Amino acid sequence: MENTELLNTVKKKARIWLDGNYDAETKQAVQNLLSNNEEELIECFYKDLGFGTGGLRGIMGVGTNRMNIYTVGMATQGLANYVKNEFTHLPDIKVAIAHDCRNNSRLFAETAAKIFTGNGFQVYLFESLRPTPELSFAIRHFGCQTGVVITASHNPKEYNGFKAYWEDGGQIIAPHDKNIITEVQRIDGIDEVKWKANENLIVSVGNDFDELYTDKIKELSLASDVIEKNSDLKIVYTPIHGTGVKLVPMVLKKMGFKNIYNVPEQDVVDGNFPTVHSPNPEENAALKLAIDKGKEINADIIMGTDPDADRVGIVVKNDKGEYVILNGNQTAAVLINYLLKQWNDQGKIKGREYIVKTIVTSELLFEIADKYKVEKYDVLTGFKYIADIMRQNEGEKVFIGGGEESYGYLAGEFVRDKDAILSCALIAEVAAYAKNQGKSLFDFLLDIYQEFSFYKEHLISVVRKGKAGAEEIEAMMKKFRENPPKSINNSRITEIRDYYTSLSKNMTNGKESTIELPKSNVLQFFLDDGSKISIRPSGTEPKIKFYFSVKGKLDSKENYNKTNDQLDQKIQHIIKELVD
C-alpha cells in the first residue's frame, strides 16, 4: 500500500473516533494527531491490535493500534460474545479478572468488569493488584469459563495488555484466539459494547484468597525438614515495583524461611518503574539494586520478579564468590532436576509422570527426564502450550514441572500458567537443599553439567519498531527460510525444522517429516556438533529473536571457566556468521 493510500485509510479510521461516542479527551488527542503528527497517527491507526502469544498487548494511547478503554472494551465484548456462544448450556457464566501495577491497569480491569456484567457475567474481580498466576488459580477455583488479566508482563512502562484465559486456567489458544478476534471484528463500533454495568454481579476477591493460593504452593514442598534445618538461608527478594510485593515474602515465610530481605526502593508499587529502565528480570540492570542488597548482607540467593509475577530472575554466587544471574535455561534445569530427583527418591514416579518445555528451551531438560524415565513434551514458545498439554493429560498423567527459557516455570497442576510466586518458593527450597549438603545453588548447577552435558545458551533480540520494522523482520525470516546456510561455524546443518510449513527436513538424506505442532513462524537449525539455533519473531514485541545453544563436556568443576569460555567463543562465532 502506497504511503498516500495508507495515510488516507488511517485518517478515515481516525475520523470515526472524532465522530463517534468517544470521550472528549480521546477526541482531542486524535485531533492533535491529525493536525500535527501524521507519523504517529499512522502508528496509532494503521492496524487493529490482535491476539498474539499473550493476547492483546501494545503501547497505551488513542487509536485502534493502542491500548485504551475502547480497544479493551472491544476485546472484552468480543470475548464475552464468544464465551456466551461456547457455553450456552450453562445458566450462569463466570469470569475472573486481575491486574498488575501498570498505569491504567485498574482502569482497564474495571472497564472489563463492567462490560462483562453488562453481558450478564458473574465477575470475580481482585480488590487490588495481584500476580497473573493467581488469576489462573482463581479461574479454576471459582469454576469460571474465562478470565482476564491486565498486564504487559515485563515490557517497558509505555505498554499494557489484555491477556485472556479459558476455563482450564490456561491462556487462550487456537481456535479460540482467532475466533475471539473474529467476534471483535464483527462489532460495528463501540456502540455495540455493553458499557452499562450491573454492580451486583461483581464479587471482590481479597486476602482470604491469597491465603488459599499460598497454602496450595506450600503443599508442593518436597523437603520441609531440609528447610527447617536451613531456615536461616539468606534470601533477597525484589518485586521490581510489581505484584509479587506481598505474596512472595508471604509464601517464603509459610515455607519456613526466616531471613528474607527486601529492596525498599522497589517495594514501591509504581507503573512508571522509577528505579529501572525496564522491569525485566532477564536484564542485569533490573536486578542491580537487589544484587547490591545481596552483597551487603551476603545473601545465599537473590530473586526478582517481573511486574505481574509470572517470571523470576535468580542470582547466585559463582565459584569465585561473585553474584551472577542464572539464565532461564539454567534455572529451569536446576528446578526440574531437583523435582525429578526428589520424586524419584521418594518413590513418587509411577510411570505416568511428565515434564514439558518449549522448543527454544535447553535440551538439557530432556536429558534429565530421560535419566528418571519421565515422559517429556516439546511445545511451541508460549506457556499457553504447556497449559494445553496439561489440559490434554488431565486425569490420566501427572505433570511434575515445566519451563521456558524466558524465566517462566511451573510445578503442580493447580495453576496453568508460569508462576513466579510458586517458583520463588521452590527455588529457595533447592537452595536450602544444596546448602544442607554444604553446597551453593551454583554448585548444584555444576553437578548437573558434570552428570549430563554442559549446555551454554545465548539470546539475541533484534528490535525493529513500527510498520517498517515489521516488514524488515518479515524479510529476514524469508531470507533464512528460502536460502538457509548449509553449515554454520564449520559445523554441518543436519536438520531444519520449519514450524511455519510444519516440515522437518533431514539435510543428510533429504527426507521430510511432519511436525506435529501448531503452525508457527519459527525456524530451527540443528548442527552435527549438537548445537541448536532457533529464529523466531516475537509475538508480543517488535523484535526478532535468535536463540543459540551449544554443548560440551564438563569433566571437572575446576575446568568450568575454561569450558564456559570455549562454549561462549563458539556462540560468538555462530553469531558473527549468522547475524552480524
Catalytic residue annotation: 153
What lies within 8 Å, CB to CB, of 28 at 6+ separation is: none
- Please answer whether residues 353 and 397 qualify as being in contact, where contact means their C-beta atoms are separated by less than 8 angstroms: yes
Helix (H/G/I), strand (E/B), else coil: 359: coil
- Please answer whether residues 496 and 504 qualify as being in contact, where contact means their C-beta atoms are separated by less than 8 angstroms: yes
* Secondary structure (H, E, C), 407-423: CEEEECCCCCCCCHHHH
User: What amino acid occupies position 64?
Assistant: T
User: What is the maximal distance between C-alpha atoms in the chain?
Assistant: 71
| Antiparallel, parallel or unpaired: β 398-404 and 375-379 | unpaired
User: What amino acid occupies position 54?
Assistant: G
Closest CA to 545 of 459, 443, 477, 484: 459
Closest CA to 103 of 151, 162, 154: 151
User: What amino acid occupies position 567?
Assistant: L
Among positive and negative, which fits the CA dihedral 138, 142, 147, 148?
Answer: negative
Q: Which CA distances in Å does 564 have to 7, 21, 519, 567? A: 52, 61, 35, 5
Separation between Cα atoms, residue 72 and residue 78, nearest integer Å: 10
Q: Between 38-45 and 3-19, two packed helices, what is the crossing angle to 10 degrees?
A: 70
- Please answer whether residues 248 and 309 qualify as being in contact, where contact means their C-beta atoms are separated by less than 8 angstroms: yes
- Residue 278's φ and ψ, nearest 5 degrees, are -145, 135
Task: Fill in the DSSP letter of residue 318.
Answer: -
Residue 301 host element (H or E) = strand 301-305
If one counts every other C-beta atom within 10 angstroms of the C-beta of residue 387, the result is 27
Report the C-alpha dihedral over residues 490, 491, 495, 500, rounded to 10 degrees. -50
Closest CA to 111 of 151, 70, 152: 70
Separation between Cα atoms, residue 312 and residue 303, nearest integer Å: 7
Name the residue with cell 514458545: 381
Helix (H/G/I), strand (E/B), else coil: 115: helix
What lies within 8 Å, CB to CB, of 197 at 6+ separation is: 113, 114, 115, 117, 118
- Please answer whether residues 507 and 495 qualify as being in contact, where contact means their C-beta atoms are separated by less than 8 angstroms: yes
Q: 180-198 burial by CB neighbour count: b if 16+ within 10 A, else e?
A: bbebbeebeebeebbeebb
Residue 86 host element (H or E) = helix 69-86
Separation between Cα atoms, residue 496 and residue 501, nearest integer Å: 11
Cell of 506: 533431514
Task: Fill in the DSSP letter of residue 200.
Answer: G
Separation between Cα atoms, residue 548 and residue 546, nearest integer Å: 7
